Amino acid sequence: MASRPSIIEQRGAQMFPVLSPLEIERARRFGECRSFPTGAALYTTGQVSAGLMVILSGRVEISQRDRSDRHTIIVVHEPGEFLGELAQLAGRPSLADATALEQVEALVIRPDRLRALLIAEAELGERIMRALILRRVGLLETGAGGPIIVGRADNGDVLRLQGFLRRNGQPQQLLDPEIDAEARALIERFHVDPGQLPIVLCPGGQLLRNPSEDELARCVGLVGPIDPNRVYDVAVVGAGPAGLATAVYAASEGLSVLVLDCRAFGGQAGASARIENYLGFPTGITGMALMARAYNQAQKFGAEIAIPDEAAALHGPADGADRFVLQLYNNERVTARSVVIASGARYRRLGVANLDAFESASVHYWATPLEAKLCANQEIALVGAGNSAGQAAVYLASQGAKIRMLVRGSDLNASMSRYLVDRIAGLPNIEVVTRAEVTTLEGRDGLLEALRWRVGDGTETRRPIRHLFLFIGAAPNTDWLTGSGVALDGKGFVLTGDDAGGNRHALETSRPGIFAIGDVRAKSVKRVAAAVGEGAQVVAALHAYLAAGNQTATAAIPVAPARSP
């Protein structure tokens, strides 16, 4: 079978555009000219470079290192072309080497000036931005330039580290000692006990033994220390669709923004295999692709994004000061004049061992026409006894499927509205199974083939069910708000607007200057589009709050000690 063409073969012209003399002239005001002798390193893998470089004369070879430290040439840049990819936009360590093949004159554009260029020069900026993104896609294809993970492909920690890097758009390579002699040689060379696997070799040469995501991120330069003296206009907790939308709109309107996320950009949406109902994408888009665009867009406008950094507590303002302090789990602190809570929620999951294996294709947390179509005329199971479960069951039943509604209690009355209970009773294709508990999921390759459940008397039933719906609630990520004075509802979601007190903006919490958007907000619509809309809407409220003069006081704020993780 013919192999898929690489991104360079498909989109080489867009990846490596040649700027016209006029475009270079326009770019000049953003950079400074520098000379490099033959053989000089313009970029080195694992090190932060000076910025994007437009070649004025001479030739530069771009190469990547593979896992054996062998160099492969990616491209040779000629005058009019430019060096760089997304690392140069974000000021992060390079993922490739750039070497002058002869004397080179280049226009060096620092990351902050590059962002200014992208915004001021719309057409030129679009060509450059597209090239930077495509070059990263090319690096992701080969994995070169990123860390090397040494460990068994099916090891849980290997999967954890791979998942973290993949979700954050970082290239990586895996060496499996079961099949790769190089992996075994590395294990011997570094005297690694099998219990210490996986090890990770970072591009800068450091060796990590079964690191945490935080250690790995710091080693590859994904995140650095936060300036404790900087006061941001707004600190956003959560880089899901709501937080990224705030970052894009706030930064593009001139506010200084820091976004924190404890896992990855994209939040729950980033985990979605395909989002079909987001406006403007009639054929659907993977959550990761949609969120990566938003992440790059936020950086283009100058928003700072720190991942993984987890907010542990929120303090201030106090003693007449108007600044808030976010205490992070790693003991760093962020100071900001306003705070946006965009920390989302996590759908409750079943406590069944292999649930995650089926979550992309056979286990669903909502019932839209898409899911209904997937399981039309099939027997399906639905777990839950609240109104969302009832609505979903009624909706799915209309598509002609046989629904087994598995309920933990003895009936639906205690948890569901009467009208839904009655409607369910009137639908012959819904069977309510009470005192039921799912025990086993069976299937292969991510596809569910059968489901087993047990009822109160211990009887177990096995049915050939290929789709399982879970409506067992969502838990908000609000533990970190304990002690902050931000009012929550009975389930822990953040109250805003009239529910939070009188005279509030619709997205403002009980504490002036602290706003809440997206899934974490009580009564919000749990959808990507709603989260993005609230992210845009909150920026007007931020402007109003900051313009009201709440940002001028400078008194010191008492900071409570961080909770331990």
Ligand X SMILES: Cc1cc2nc3c(=O)[nH]c(=O)nc-3n(C[C@H](O)[C@H](O)[C@H](O)COP(=O)(O)OP(=O)(O)OC[C@H]3O[C@@H](n4cnc5c(N)ncnc54)[C@H](O)[C@@H]3O)c2cc1C
Which residues form the interface with ligand X (CB under 6 A)? 237-243, 260-263, 267-269, 271-272, 275-277, 310-311, 342-345, 347, 365, 477, 480, 518-520, 526-529, 531
Which of these, 152, 310, 246, lies nearest to 516 by C-alpha position?
246
Q: What does the alpha-carbon distance between residue 209 and residue 199 come to, in Å, rounded to a whole number?
A: 4
Question: Taking the complex as a whole, how short is the minimal distance between the CB of residue 309 and ligand X, in angstroms?
Answer: 7
CB nearer ligand X, residue 53 or residue 165: 165
Q: 221 vs 238, which CB is nearer to ligand X?
A: 238
State in angstroms the smallest separation of the CB of 60 from ligand X: 38
Consecutive H or E run containing 35: strand 32-36
Q: How far is the CB of 371 from ligand X (least distance, A)?
A: 10
DSSP letter, residue 550:
I
- Radius of gyration in angstroms for the set of CA atoms belonging to the chain, rounded to a whole number: 26
Closer to ligand X by CB, 89 or 239: give it: 239
| H or E element in which residue 189 lies | helix 181-189
Residue 12 CB, nearest distance to ligand X (Å)? 33
C-beta of 150 vs 326, nearer to ligand X? 326
Any residues with CB less than 8 A from the CB of 47 and at least 6 apart, and which?
A: 93, 94, 204
Residue 37 C-beta: closest distance to ligand X, Å: 46
Of residues 171 and 533, the one with the C-beta less far from ligand X: 533
- Side-chain-side CA neighbours of 126 within 13 Å: the count stands at 2
List all residues 6 or more positions away from 199 whose beta carbon is below 8 Å from its beta carbon. 149, 150, 151, 186, 187, 190, 192, 207, 208, 209, 210
Q: At its nearest, how many Å lie between ligand X and the CB of residue 139?
A: 24
Q: Helix or strand or coil: residue 536?
A: helix
- Residue reference for tokens 């005329």: 377
In angstroms, how far is CA 350 from the centroid of its own chain?
23
Report the residue number, 452 or 526, with the smaller CB distance to ligand X.
Answer: 526
Cα angle value 537/542/548 (rounded, 5°): 135
CB nearer ligand X, residue 117 or residue 528: 528
Q: What is the token pair recorded at 351?
A: 């406590």
CA 512 from chain centre, in angstroms, equals: 28
The nearest distance, CB 45 to ligand X, in angstroms, is: 29
